Amino acid sequence: MNETLKVLESRRSCRSFKPDMIKKEELDAIIKAGTYAANGMGQQSPVIIAVTSKELRDSVSEENRKIGGWDEGFDPFYGAPVILIVLADKSMPTHVYDGSLVMGNLMNAAESLGVASIWIHRAKEEFDSDFGKNLLKKLGITGDYEGIGHCALGYAAQPPREAAPRKEDYVYFA
Ligand SMILES: Cc1cc2nc3c(=O)[nH]c(=O)nc-3n(C[C@H](O)[C@H](O)[C@H](O)COP(=O)(O)O)c2cc1C
């Protein structure tokens, strides 16, 4: 199996991160891979917000926790020091697909560098709310964006678990 196929098969979601910040060159390479995802009509509808400050990371986590309905103190980002938030321009009919492909690239690029990752949901609700709208405003991001997902990144605190077996009826050759 070549290295790319190995990475695609070995990536697993991480739910326990070390607090250590990942290396700048790793972060840059992961983000760059995200920006090269295929996208509808070549319009590059997504944007990526790279959250590395602990203060902002904690406030995104808190907002996500509230949306998810978890008890106070729960961190839906499992301690990850970096959150890459992917949003996409609603004016493109392909925006959800575009943003999802960015998420895939981010997670697979992370795996290729030995950086652990997980897709954390509820970005849509986050950016439908004043919290998200204010963040976009603060960053000078104008336009009508939908939150697609958060790619939490960091070094794994525990070895990855085995992938679940693939279901029998996943593929139909016709
Ligand atoms: C759209 C999407 C949303 C997800 N949201 C969450 C989430 O909010 N919290 C979480 O712990 N895992 C989340 N995950 C991770 C999945 O649970 C995980 O990908 C799945 O169990 C398969 O495991 P694997 O990624 O290790 O192959 C999400 C994955 C996707 C694709």
Region 68-79: mean pLDDT is 98
pLDDT tens digits, residue range 10-44?
999 999 999 999 999 999 999 999 999 999 999 99
Average pLDDT rounded to a whole number, residues 47-51: 98
Mean local confidence (pLDDT), 151-170: 97
What CATH number does the domain containing 135 carry? 3.40.109.10
pLDDT of residue 139: 98
Q: Would residue 48 count as lying in a domain?
A: yes
When the pLDDT of each residue in the chain is averaged and rounded to a whole number, the result is 98
Q: What is the per-residue DSSP string for 48-92?
A: EEEE--HHHHHHHHHHHHHHHTPPTT--TTTT-SEEEEEEEETTS
For range 64-93, the mean pLDDT: 98
**Full-prediction pTM beyond 0.85?**
yes
Confidence of residue 151 (pLDDT cuts 50, 70, 90): very high
Residue 118, ligand 1, Cβ within 6 A: yes
Q: Report the distance separating Cα 1 and Cα 6, nearest Å.
A: 6
pLDDT of residue 163: 96
12 lines ligand 1 (CB under 6 A): yes
Q: Quickly list H helices, the chain.
A: 3-10, 24-35, 54-68, 95-112, 123-128, 130-139
Query: Does any domain span residue 171?
Result: no
Residue 165 located in a structural domain: no
User: What pLDDT score was predicted for residue 62?
Assistant: 98
CA of 126 to the centre of ligand 1 (A): 17
Percent of the chain scoring above 70 in pLDDT: 100
Contact between 131 and 66 under an 8 Å Cβ cutoff? The reply is no
Taking the CA atoms of residue 28, residue 43, residue 100 and residue 158 in that order, the dihedral angle to the nearest 10 degrees is 0
Q: Is 159 part of any domain? A: no
Q: Which domain holds residue 63?
A: 3-154
Ligand 1 pocket residue status of 14, Cβ below 6 Å: no
Q: Which residue has the higher pLDDT, 87 or 1?
A: 87
Tell me the pLDDT band of 167, cut-offs 50, 70 and 90.
Answer: very high
The number of folded domains in the chain is 1
What single DSSP character describes residue 19?
Answer: S
Read off the tokens for 134: 């204010």
Query: Which of 63, 108, 118 to mutate for ligand 1's pocket (most ligand atoms within 8 Å of CB)?
Result: 118
Say if 123 falls within a structural domain: yes
Please check whether residue 172 lies inside any domain of the structure.
Answer: no
Among 41, 150, 32, residue whose Cα is nearest residue 94: 41
Has residue 162 been placed in a domain?
Answer: no
- Quick check: 157 and 16 in contact, CB under 8 A? yes
Closest residue to atom 1 of ligand 1, CA basis: 121
| Spacing, Cα 118 to ligand 1 middle (Å) | 6
- Ligand 1 atom closest to the CA of 103, numbered from 1: 31
Report whether 51 contacts 57 (CB < 8 A): yes
Which amino acid would we find at residue 162? Answer: E
User: Cβ of 134: how many Cβ atoms within 10 Å?
Assistant: 10
Q: Whose CA is nearest to atom 29 of ligand 1?
A: 119
Q: What is the tens place of the pLDDT at every residue in 109-135?
A: 999 999 999 999 999 999 999 999 999
Dihedral sign of CA atoms 45, 77, 165, 109 in order: positive
For residue 33, give the nearest of 82, 113, 105 by alpha carbon.
105
pLDDT at site 118: 98
Measured at the CA of 141, the angle between CA 136 and CA 146, to 5 degrees, comes to 65
- In this prediction, residue 154 has a pLDDT band, given cuts at 50, 70 and 90, of very high
